[in-house]
């Protein structure tokens, strides 16, 4: 069942600068079914938007869930251009890309759900955990991935900014200007970011750190609601000074 969660209007909230309405989608992790369901809600919600809309996908499209390849294909082909989609790079895309270039990280990637991405590209033999031939698997995966999927992985952005909102998969390092953020922090940071109480007037929209319910604070918004196991994929809707949430049911 699909749920729509509304947050009360915040007069002091920043406003997006480059779109009338911005949707920011949390970690998908191979759940094509939930992505399709949430995108249908976004399309319906956007019908009354007074101007252009943007969808920012916050990363972690792959691993853990059953259809990573299908998620990438949908993001490439299924999103209406009217939404001006922005695709950010999560730590799981970082691991995926690194595995293709450095197969020796295979055990670490497989331990965090990477094996499910490999399987989604039709590779099912020889995936015996730490005993697997990871260089051979990486070669087979490179060959199985369509050229458009390679280009998608290579072209992911690390952050996006709209007005006083900053979008990053994991977050940002406190007291460091956005333009000087370390890419590793944007994809991987956790403790230092979550422990901060302000970012110089910015509000950071992020995934990466799972929450049961979306977190809506003056300085950060968290929308990773653990879709791959909870059945709940969430996005925040930034509509002028208003913030609200759309979510699939869990």
Q: For 49-59, how does the pLDDT look when each residue is reduced to its tens digit (9 = 90+)?
A: 988 999 999 99
Query: What is the Cα–Cα distance from 10 to 14, expressed in whole angstroms?
Result: 9
- Work out the average pLDDT over 187-211: 97
* Residue-level pLDDT at 128: 79
Contact 166, 201 (CB under 8 A): no
pLDDT digits (tens, 9 = 90+) for 110-121: 999 999 999 999
Phi and psi at residue 209, in whole multiples of 5°?
Answer: -100, 110
Q: What is the pLDDT of residues 221-241, one digit of tens each?
A: 999 999 999 999 999 999 988
Complete domains list, the chain, with CATH: 2-100+147-248 (3.60.21.10)
Q: Mean pLDDT across the chain, nearest whole number?
A: 92
**Share of residues in the chain with pLDDT > 70 (%):** 92
59: nearest Cα among 169, 161, 159: 169
Give the model's confidence band at 8: pLDDT under 50 very low, under 70 low, under 90 confident, else very high. very low
Q: Which residue has the higher pLDDT, 125 or 181?
A: 181
Mean of the pLDDT values across residues 126-139? 86
List, edge to edge, every strand of the sheet that includes 242-248: 2-5, 242-248, 234-239, 21-25, 53-57, 86-87
pLDDT value of position 199: 97
Say what the pTM is: 0.92
Terminal-residue alpha carbon distance, the chain: 8
Model pLDDT, residue 58: 98
Instruction: Look at phi and psi of residue 17 and say left if phi exceeds 0, alpha if psi is from -120 to 50, else beta.
Output: alpha
Sheet with 159-162: strands ordered across: 159-162, 165-168, 203-206, 220-222, 215-216
Question: Average pLDDT, stretch 182-211?
Answer: 97
Give CA angle at 156 (151, 160), nearest 5°.
150
């Amino acid at each position: 069942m699909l749920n729509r969660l509304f947050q009360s209007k915040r007069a002091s909230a920043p406003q997006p600068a480059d779109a009338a309405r911005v949707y920011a989608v949390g970690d998908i992790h191979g759940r094509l079914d939930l992505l399709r369901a949430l995108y249908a809600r976004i399309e319906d919600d956007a019908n009354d938007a007074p101007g252009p809309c943007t969808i920012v996908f916050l990363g972690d499209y792959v691993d853990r869930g059953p259809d990573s390849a299908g998620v990438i294909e949908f993001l490439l082909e299924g999103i209406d251009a009217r939404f001006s989609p922005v695709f950010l790079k999560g730590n799981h895309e970082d691991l995926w890309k690194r595995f293709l270039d450095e197969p020796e990280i295979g055990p670490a990637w497989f331990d965090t759900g990477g094996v499910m991405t490999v399987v989604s590209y039709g590779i099912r033999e020889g995936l015996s955990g730490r005993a697997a031939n990871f260089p051979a698997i990486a070669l087979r995966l490179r060959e199985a991935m369509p050229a458009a999927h390679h280009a998608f992985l290579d072209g992911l952005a690390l952050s996006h900014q709209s007005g006083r909102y900053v979008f990053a998969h994991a977050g940002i390092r406190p007291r460091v200007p956005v333009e000087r953020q370390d890419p590793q922090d944007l994809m991987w940071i956790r403790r230092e970011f979550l422990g901060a109480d302000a970012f110089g007037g910015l509000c950071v929209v992020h995934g990466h750190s799972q929450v049961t319910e979306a977190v809506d604070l003056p300085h950060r918004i968290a929308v990773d609601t653990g879709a791959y196991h909870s059945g709940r994929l969430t996005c925040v809707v930034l509509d002028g000074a208003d913030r609200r949430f759309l979510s699939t049911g869990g």
